[in-house]
Chain A
Amino acid sequence: MSTETMSIFSPKLAARFDALVEKYPARRSALIPMLLYAQDEIGYLSDAVIDEVASRIGITPLDVRNVASYYSMLRFKPAGRYNVQVCTNISCMLRGGYDIFDHLQHKLGIGHKGVTADGVFSLEEVECIGVCCWAPAIQVNYDFHDDLTNDKVDEVISSYRAKANGESTHA
């Protein structure tokens, strides 16, 4: 039974949130996962997302913003459908992380935190993503792609482009 009569989330996610707030010894512990899962569905932390999450936890929207602004994965603006995150930290840098990042900037025609005009891709230079021994690596949304070269990056991007085209034809 949802505590929110008018949820902005899908029924499935709303039900998941109903369970999530009961999962921990304190309701507030659900805050960070809830924000991340809400972002996965809505695309970013809109005012409506923040308001509903605040009311579900029982804290103020300002408190939610204060916490959300701390975490690098949480964003207040939309990203592309596929958010391409390029690690340039030491282990990736030593094996060409910056070359991959430069290549992607040219290929997608956008810079750090940019979004392509069609909204399909966004690009981000990120800190270590925990794939150091298989560097250089990128993460597209939550999927890792490791041991990359520029050619492999092209294949990865093409596969997401095809996926995006498929999704828009079916829509």
Chain B
Amino acid sequence: MPKLVSHPDEVKVISKRFGMGATNIDRYIELGGYESTQKALAQGPEWIISEMKASGLRGRGGAGFPTGLKWSFVPKQAPKPKYVLVNGDESEPGTCKDHLIFLHDPHAVIEGTIIAGLAIGAKTGFIYLRGEYRYLLEIMEKAVADAYAKGFLGKNIFGTDTEFQVITQTGAGAYEVGEESALMESLEGKRGVPRIKPPFPAVVGLYGGPTVINNAETIAAVPHIIGMGGPAYAALGSERNGGTRLFGISGHVERPGIYELPMGYNLHKMIYDVAGGIRGGRKLKAVVPGGSSTPVLLPSEIETLGMDFDQVGKAGSMLGSGGVVVLDDQTCIVEFALRTIKFYQHESCGWCIPCREGTDWLKKSLTRFHAGFGTMKDIDNIQYLAENMMGRTFCPLGDAAAMPTIGFVKKFRKEFEDHLDGKPCPFAKHLEVALV
């Protein structure tokens, strides 16, 4: 069972009911649950969207798009039914925040889904969980059944004439499906191959109807925003980055875990204070700030870095999924880069050639390189390949593979050179097992 951790600097909003038995619907109601949905029902769609815009909430899946704005793009009148789709296909390496949300607070996800539906005029919401999260799917399904039994879902929610249905769905193992158009394909029972945009999902989405797709953490924040009001939520975070976020700190720290901290929280402090510093008193070598696709940062780059979308972007990386992966000074960057690219090579759906071929060549080059058979020219070739994948694919998987690779080569070129001319890996480790 995933361990819950805490730290005095935490501001618990999304995580405030973690460990409090809120999977039980009566307990959830006792803790103030479903009040926000009733408030939203009473206030109506325009009020909901204005509160969401005021909250400064930005998509927690990684792109950081303002949620209120996204909702406002859905046309009021549409020839086909509108849908809300909750993305719980959490698969970005370094990311496990949604795991805790589904485990501890499934009704918050349901509430967020209903409120999103009210805002855009949808009568159906889907909650899609990755296939590996079977026990969490069962928790979600129980919560949905309980909400139906109370009349919180169905034809007349809370005794009104408003209808809202929630349908849960399981994936079956695919990182790619976390991309919104691939997610819709998967939910329609197809291979998770991305769709070209435009049209955007807000206009033509699931089953051809206008669809709002939000990350599970984004959706879980919604009832809290409606409860406290948009401006109050915004005030918790930093400029243009409202609220708090579940940061997942993993790797070489003393106290890894999921910590809910205000947006803009200092990264150095997050590692050294919140997560207890580097394991075994070692030194920090590098940080991957927001899941495996985000470019690596050096210790010198994190001293004054606030963890929000804009500041991390300015530092040349991305806040991404909030999965902070910490590497100590005994980590081989070439091996780390290789493991990262192996993942993307494995997950590339093969639809776009730059991604399919690019990830494969990068994996081959890095494998050879790490084994000590690289040449100086390979270092430039790795970078050249990665740079030529950028922006040339339907979905961001190609970029997600290229961006970290470029970062590793640029920032740790010396370490790549240390692997040249048949020299053994300076860290005496080798990645022998190839994933099929």
**Which of A67, A89, A98, A143 meets B93, CB within 8 Å?**
A89
The interface-forming segment of B9-17, B107-115, B223-231, B251-259 is B251-259
B413 within 8 A of A: no
For B315, list chain A residues within 8 Å (CB).
Answer: none
Determine if A168 is an interface residue (Cβ-Cβ < 8 Å): no
* A130 and B347 contact, Cβ closer than 8 Å, known pairs A90-B339, A94-B250: no
Q: Which of B1, B98, B256 has the most CB of A within 10 A?
A: B256
Residues of A within 8 A of B323 (CB): 91, 132
CB atoms of A67 and B191 under 8 A apart: yes
CB nearest neighbor in A for B251: A94
Q: Across the interface, do A98 and B433 meet the contact criterion of CB distance under 8 Å?
A: yes
Q: B190 to A67, Cβ gap below 8 A?
A: yes
Interface stretch among B27-35, B37-45, B166-174, B418-426?
A: B166-174
Counting chain A CB atoms within 10 Å of each CB, which of B96, B130, B186 scores highest?
A: B96
Assess the B172–A134 pair: CB atoms within 8 A: no
Chain B residues contacting A35 (CB-CB under 8 Å) are 172
Does A30 contact B292, Cβ atoms closer than 8 Å? no
- Which single member of B99, B134, B325 contacts A94 (CB below 8 Å)? B325
Say if the beta carbon of A125 comes within 8 Å of chain B.
Answer: yes
Which residues of B lie under 8 Å from residue A25 when comparing CB positions? 81, 124, 207
Binds B, one of A5-13, A71-79, A159-167: A71-79
B3 at the interface (CB under 8 A from A): yes
B91 lies within 8 A of A71 (CB): no
- A143 neighbours in B (Cβ, 8 Å): 135
Q: Which residues of A contact B331 (CB under 8 A)?
A: 94
The answer for the CA separation of A70 and B81 in the assembled complex, in Å, is 28
Are A94 and B170 in contact, with the CB atoms below 8 A?
no
The answer to whether A108 has its CB under 8 Å from any CB of chain B is no
Asked, given contacts A73-B173, A90-B251, A94-B251, whether A128 binds B343 with beta carbons under 8 Å apart, the answer is yes
Contacts of B343 in A (CB 8 A): 89-90, 127-128
Contact check, A133 vs B327: say whether CB atoms are below 8 A apart.
no
In chain A between 1 and 30, which residues have their CB closer than 8 angstroms to a CB of chain B? Answer: 23-26, 28-30
| 9 CB-based A-B contacts, threshold 8 Å | A25-B81, A36-B172, A74-B172, A88-B339, A94-B331, A112-B433, A131-B96, A133-B256, A133-B258
**Residues of B participating in the A interface, judged by any CB pair closer than 8 Å:** 1-3, 81, 90-96, 98-99, 124, 130-135, 167, 169-175, 186-192, 207, 248-252, 256-258, 288, 292, 323, 325-327, 331, 336, 339-340, 343, 346-347, 349, 431, 433, 435-436
